[in-house]
């Protein structure tokens, strides 16, 4: 009986307390001294996995880098005849990845505060970096000069609100971690997104009329917004004609910058035009061939 007890104590030793380091960075190996003698079982319980290992007391316990990749709350447990445990936090490493949202993907020109650029900073293990990190935003419009802004993250995120410019076309917005002050990134990290600035509502919508016998051909001037940008092809323009035969309407898409349609006219007629909620000019035909007022 006493021999068995000796054997047992020699195999499962006496473990003292374990002490975790105060600061642990994700993906960094570290070691902790184990007091006592003999063997024990070590458990490391992390946010995304659990490690179980037999250890020799009285030596240093090496925690591999791969065991502390995930940032968050960890618990170490050392068990022999009894168990002792301690907790520690693993913090994200320096920024190495960006998740960058640029919203919306299309925006009408000349609209204030219409563009949202939001960047989340992650380390190389995709832990959200909660320490303030500087993010560079580079804005490059299709025409005109670009500009940049620097924002520091708060709780892992930073954002920017921008006005759309008066000219249609692509605007590239790039978010980057440049390894500058307050940023420990090893190299430059950039994420680029593109936003399409599109024409706003039609402005000064006008049509011209050509009459040939009982047929009138209606064609708009090039349809543009108030900043002079052409509305894209496929945009619907509604023509309405009212004459003795009744009312006729047709929704025609813009093609090559203009919308065009034909109507038969009986007697005098009034013809109007609209694009969305924007009304254009109205033309009155007096019933004589080619006559209009």
Partner 1 sequence: MKWALVTFITAATVVLVALAWLQSGGLQQHAMFSAATPEAAVRALMTQVQSHNFDQAYAALDPSSNTDLSSFVQDVAGSNSSLRTYSSLQSVDVSPLHADNDHAVVRLRMTWSSAVGSLDDVRDVNVKRDGSVWRVVWPKPAFQAVPPQVVSVNYLRWEVIGRNTSQAWGAQDVDSPKVRITSMNAISRPGRVVILGEVENEDTIPAYLNVNATLLKADGSPIDEEGSFDLISHVLLPKQVSPYRIDFPGVRLDSVKSVRMDARALLVPASADPVIAATNQAVSKDGLNRNVLKGELVNQSGRPVNIAQVLAAYYDDQGKVIWVSDGYVDQALMPQVPVPFAVDIPDDIAARLKNYRVLVNHYSRSSS
Which residues of this chain interact with partner 1, rule CB under 8 A?
Answer: 99-106, 120, 191, 193-194, 198-199, 202, 231-238, 240, 245-253, 255, 261, 263-264, 275-277
Q: Which is nearer to partner 1, 187 or 234 (CB)?
A: 234
The tokens describing 293, both together, are 């007022």
Nearer to partner 1, 102 or 139 (CB): 102
CB of 209 to partner 1, least distance (A): 17
Closest separation between CB of residue 123 and partner 1, Å? Answer: 15
Q: How far apart are the first and last CA of the chain?
A: 121
Q: Phi and psi dihedrals of 68, rounded to 5?
A: -130, 45
| Closer to partner 1 by Cβ: residue 52 or 255 | 255
Q: Residue 25 or residue 99: which is nearer to partner 1 going by CB?
A: 99
Least distance CB 278 / partner 1 (angstroms): 8
Q: Which residues partner with 105 through β-bridges?
A: none
Residue 68 contacts residue 24 (beta carbons within 8 Å): yes
What's the closest the beta carbon of residue 184 comes to partner 1, in angstroms?
22
Tally the C-alpha atoms within 13 A of residue 182's C-alpha that lie toward its C-beta.
15
H/E stretch holding 91 reads strand 83-91
CA atoms within 13 A on the CB side of 251: 5
- Exposure string over 171-183, b if 16+ CB within 10 A, otherwise e: bebbbbbebeeeb
Q: How far is the CB of 232 from partner 1 (least distance, A)?
A: 5
Choice between 66 and 255, CB closer to partner 1: 255
Minimum distance, C-beta of residue 59 to partner 1, in the bound complex (Å)? 42
Closer to partner 1 by CB, 228 or 253: give it: 253
**Rounded distance, CA 19 to CA 158, Å?**
36
SS3 98: strand
User: Which residue is associated with the tokens 């005098």?
Assistant: 268
171: nearest Cα among 198, 135, 207: 198
Taking the least distance from each CB to partner 1, the nearer of 15 and 185 is: 185
Give the tokens for residue 233.
């092809």
Residue number with CB closer to partner 1 (85 or 172): 172
Q: How far is the CB of 78 from partner 1 (least distance, A)?
A: 38
Cα 39 to Cα 56: distance, rounded to the nearest angstrom: 5
Helix (H) or strand (E) holding 191: strand 189-198
CB of 275 to partner 1, least distance (A): 5
């Amino acid at each position: 009986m006493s021999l068995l007890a000796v054997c047992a104590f020699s195999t499962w030793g006496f473990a003292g307390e374990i002490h975790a380091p105060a600061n642990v960075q994700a993906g960094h190996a570290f070691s902790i001294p184990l007091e006592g003698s003999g063997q024990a079982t070590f458990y490391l319980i992390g946010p995304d996995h659990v490690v179980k290992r037999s250890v020799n007391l009285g030596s240093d316990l090496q925690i591999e880098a791969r065991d502390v990749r995930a940032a968050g709350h960890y618990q170490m447990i050392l068990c022999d005849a009894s168990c002792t445990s301690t907790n520690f936090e693993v913090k994200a490493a320096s920024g190495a990845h960006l998740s960058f949202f640029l919203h919306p993907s299309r925006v009408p020109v000349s609209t204030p505060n219409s563009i949202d650029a939001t960047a989340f900073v992650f380390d190389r293990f995709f832990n959200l970096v909660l320490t303030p990190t500087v993010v560079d935003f580079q804005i490059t419009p299709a025409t005109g000069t670009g500009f940049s802004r620097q924002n520091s993250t708060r709780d892992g995120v930073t954002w920017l609100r921008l006005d759309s410019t008066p000219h249609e076309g692509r605007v590239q917005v790039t978010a980057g971690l440049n390894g500058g002050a307050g940023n420990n990134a090893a190299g430059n990290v950039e994420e680029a997104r593109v936003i399409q600035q599109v024409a706003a509502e039609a402005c000064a919508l006008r049509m011209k009329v050509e009459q040939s016998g009982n047929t009138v051909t209606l064609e708009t001037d090039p349809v543009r917004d108030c900043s002079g940008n052409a509305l894209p092809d496929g945009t619907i323009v509604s023509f309405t004609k009212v004459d003795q035969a009744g009312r006729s309407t047709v929704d025609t898409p813009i093609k090559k910058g203009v919308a065009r349609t034909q109507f038969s006219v009986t007697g005098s007629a009034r013809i109007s035009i609209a694009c969305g909620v924007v009304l254009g000019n109205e033309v009155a035909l007096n019933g004589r061939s080619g006559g209009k007022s």
